[in-house]
Amino acid sequence: MGVTGVCVLSHSPASTCPNFLTEQRSGDASVEVGLRGDWKTRALSPGNELGVQQVESLMARRYTTLVGLLGETSTGKTCLLSSLYLLASCGEMKASVLFGGSATILGFEQRLRQLRLWDGAGLPEQIVEHTNLSDPRRPGFVHVAFRATKPDRIHDIVFSDLPGEWTTGLMKRAAIAARFAFLRRADALVLAITAPSLLDQTSRHNQLQNARVLIQRLRDTVEIDLRVPLIFAITRCDVSGPSLPGAAYELAAAARGFGFTNTFQFPIAAFSDRDDVPSGFGVGDLLDAVIGTGTQTMPVKAEDDLTTARMFARYQGMREACRPTA
């Protein structure tokens, strides 16, 4: 690849190849091995996912809707993000919503092609501060901007991209709640649970119990504001059909019972070959709910001692000052 610029294993971009290495000299961030021949070059933003510092830069420029996307392993979190991106990519957003850019467009393309997978053997224990091109997938954020035309508003949205093991860990151990402190700044929480697991008698009760525990953790240990919208994304409706399982309503009732005042539940099918459940089913509705939450007024919270809370807490007070306008 150093000669031709093309990966012999057909990875595209070439940087996704597990054998891809960049040559660095003298600890300088600029890579002096050029694109071609003797070209001197400088590294650009990798665009795979965003670390904390990169999200903070975004937030400094424009109000950013932060969405905490949670769910255990294989609940469809990545598929949900991929499906949202594909709606935009194919021009199938509703006419009043336009794709306005993404700081992680490469990351979306890689996730769509399952080229950016979690390495289960070595999951980090903190959200990455800053991403580099050669890094494997690490807990961070993906970004997309939309412009809604009715009314005319700009929505910069950042979704957390976390391994499912973290959600499971939070249920079991309060000690890891610090990783989730950024959620105190969240404009919305999306909790992914698969529809088949809510229909199956052998798993339904456990799923409800897990969700109850997680919601309580979010309330008591992570200390989420109870007015933050809690959106249940009931995924894999390509398997179960277009209707919400009855247990989904129990989830919402449980959330309200724990004090969350603003709950939604949407049947979701990121990809589907059913006629009654098309691909992207429910994703647009979920986005509408998220965009709607970005306009809600939230109180300014005092910063706390947790470093990760401080990472976004200082932007709480900007919500009204930076209200997106045309």
Partner 1 sequence: MFVGGPGSGKSNYLFRAWIAIEHETGQLRKHGLPPELGYLHDGAARLLAGNFAPHTSLSAPTTCEIPVTFVGNTTVSNLTVPDVSGEVWNDVYERRQWPTAWDAFITDRCSFVLFVRAGSPHNVKPLDWLTCERLYKDRAVARAEARAPTQVFLVDWLQTLRELVTKGAGSASIPRLSVVVTAWDTVQEDLGPQEFLAREFPLLDQFLRADLHGFEARVFGVSIAGGDLDNDPKFRAEYLAHDPKAHGYSITATGRKSERKVDDVLVPLYWALGHDR
Q: Which residues bind partner 1 (CB under 8 A)?
A: 5, 10-16, 30-31, 34-37, 39-47, 79, 82, 86, 88-91, 93, 98-103, 105-106, 109, 112-115, 133, 145-147, 154, 271-273, 278-280
- For residue 181, the minimal CB distance to partner 1 (Å) is 29
DSSP string computed for 261-306: --EEEEE-BSS---SSS-TTBTHHHHHHHHHHHTTS--------S-
In the bound state with partner 1, the residue whose beta carbon lies nearer, of 58 and 183, is 58
Distant-in-sequence, close-in-space partners of 209: CB < 8 Å, separation ≥ 6: none
- For residue 7, the minimal CB distance to partner 1 (Å) is 9
Nearest to 117 by CA among 125, 127, 126, 107: 107
In the bound state with partner 1, the residue whose beta carbon lies nearer, of 105 and 226, is 105
In the bound state with partner 1, the residue whose beta carbon lies nearer, of 35 and 300, is 35
In the bound state with partner 1, the residue whose beta carbon lies nearer, of 183 and 290, is 290
- For residue 93, the minimal CB distance to partner 1 (Å) is 7
- For residue 221, the minimal CB distance to partner 1 (Å) is 34
- The conformation of residue 44, written as its DSSP 8-state character, comes to P
What's the burial of 82, exposed, middle or buried (CB within 10 Å: 0-12/13-18/19+)?
buried
- For residue 232, the minimal CB distance to partner 1 (Å) is 22
In the bound state with partner 1, the residue whose beta carbon lies nearer, of 86 and 230, is 86
Residue 213's Cα: distance from chain center in Å?
Answer: 21
- For residue 69, the minimal CB distance to partner 1 (Å) is 18
- For residue 52, the minimal CB distance to partner 1 (Å) is 19
Residue 231's Cα: distance from chain center in Å?
Answer: 13
- Measured in residues, the chain has a length of 326
- Could you check whether the bond before residue 18 is cis, i.e. omega within 30 degrees of 0? no
- For residue 116, the minimal CB distance to partner 1 (Å) is 11
In the bound state with partner 1, the residue whose beta carbon lies nearer, of 100 and 241, is 100
Hey, which residues does 232 pair with through a beta bridge? Answer: 191, 265
DSSP string computed for 202-233: HHHHHHHHHHHHHHHHHHHTS---TTS-EEEE
Hey, which residues does 146 pair with through a beta bridge? Answer: 99, 155
Distant-in-sequence, close-in-space partners of 181: CB < 8 Å, separation ≥ 6: 222, 304, 306, 308, 309, 311
In the bound state with partner 1, the residue whose beta carbon lies nearer, of 146 and 182, is 146
In the bound state with partner 1, the residue whose beta carbon lies nearer, of 16 and 207, is 16
Angle (CA) 278-281-284 rounded to 5° is 135
Look up tokens 């975004």; give the residue: 58
In the bound state with partner 1, the residue whose beta carbon lies nearer, of 71 and 229, is 71
* Amino acid letter for position 114: Q
- For residue 233, the minimal CB distance to partner 1 (Å) is 17
